Amino acid sequence: MAIGVFDSGLGGLTIHRALIDRFPDADFVFLGDQAKVPYGGRTGEEIVELTKAGCVTLFEQGCSVAVLACNTAASIALRRLQQTWLPGYRKALGRPVNVLGLIVPTIEAATGLPWEHEAERRGDKVEKLDILAVFSTPATAASRVYEIEIDKRRQDVAVFSQPCPELAGRIEAGAPREELAAAIQSHVKAITTGIGRSPDRAILGCTHYEIVADLFRAALPPDTPLIHQPEATAGALARYLERHAEYDPGHAGARRFLTTGRPGVQSSLVEAFWGTPLSFERA
Ligand code: DGL
| pLDDT tens for each residue of 61-119 | 999 999 999 999 999 999 999 999 999 999 999 999 999 999 999 999 999 999 988 87
List all residues 6 or more positions away from 122 whose beta carbon is below 8 Å from its beta carbon. none
* pLDDT confidence tier of residue 27, bands split at 50, 70 and 90: very high
- Of all protein residues, the one whose alpha carbon is nearest to atom 2 of ligand 1 is 70
Instruction: Kindly state the percentage of the chain with pLDDT values over 90.
Output: 92
Q: How far apart are CA 132 and CA 142, in angstroms?
A: 17
* pLDDT confidence tier of residue 194, bands split at 50, 70 and 90: very high
pLDDT for the residue numbered 118: 80
* pLDDT confidence tier of residue 276, bands split at 50, 70 and 90: very high
Decide whether 2-104+230-282 matches 107-227 in CATH topology. yes
**Window from 28-42, 96-110, 268-282 with minimum mean pLDDT:** 268-282
> What is the pTM assigned to this prediction?
0.95
* pLDDT confidence tier of residue 6, bands split at 50, 70 and 90: very high
pLDDT for the residue numbered 158: 96
Give me ligand 1 centre to Cα 137, in Å: 6
Q: What is the DSSP string of 236-283?
A: HHHHHHHH-TTS---SS--EEEEESS--EE--HHHHHHHSS--EEEE-
Q: Is 30 in the pocket of ligand 1 (CB under 6 A)?
A: no
Strand order through the sheet with 63-68: 98-100, 63-68, 2-7, 28-32, 255-259, 279-282, 264-265
For the cut 90, the answer to whether the pLDDT of residue 7 exceeds it is yes
Q: What is the mean pLDDT of residues 162-181?
A: 96
For the cut 90, the answer to whether the pLDDT of residue 53 exceeds it is yes
Q: Give the CATH fold of the 107-227 domain.
A: Rossmann fold (3.40.50)
pLDDT for the residue numbered 135: 98
For the cut 80, the answer to whether the pLDDT of residue 198 exceeds it is yes
CA angle 43, 60, 69 (to 5 degrees): 45
For the cut 90, the answer to whether the pLDDT of residue 37 exceeds it is yes
Domain ranges of the chain: 2-104+230-282, 107-227
Give me ligand 1 centre to Cα 23, in Å: 24
pLDDT for the residue numbered 46: 98
Q: Is 206 in the pocket of ligand 1 (CB under 6 A)?
A: yes
Give me ligand 1 centre to Cα 134, in Å: 14
Q: How far, rounded to the nearest angstrom, does the alpha carbon of residue 231 sit from its chain's CA centroid?
A: 11
Active site residues: 70, 206
Ligand 1 binding pocket mutation candidate from 6, 39, 228, 259 (most atoms within 8 A of CB): 39
pLDDT for the residue numbered 269: 87
Q: Give the CATH fold of the 2-104+230-282 domain.
A: Rossmann fold (3.40.50)
Mean confidence (pLDDT) of the chain: 95
pLDDT for the residue numbered 5: 98
For the cut 90, the answer to whether the pLDDT of residue 50 exceeds it is yes
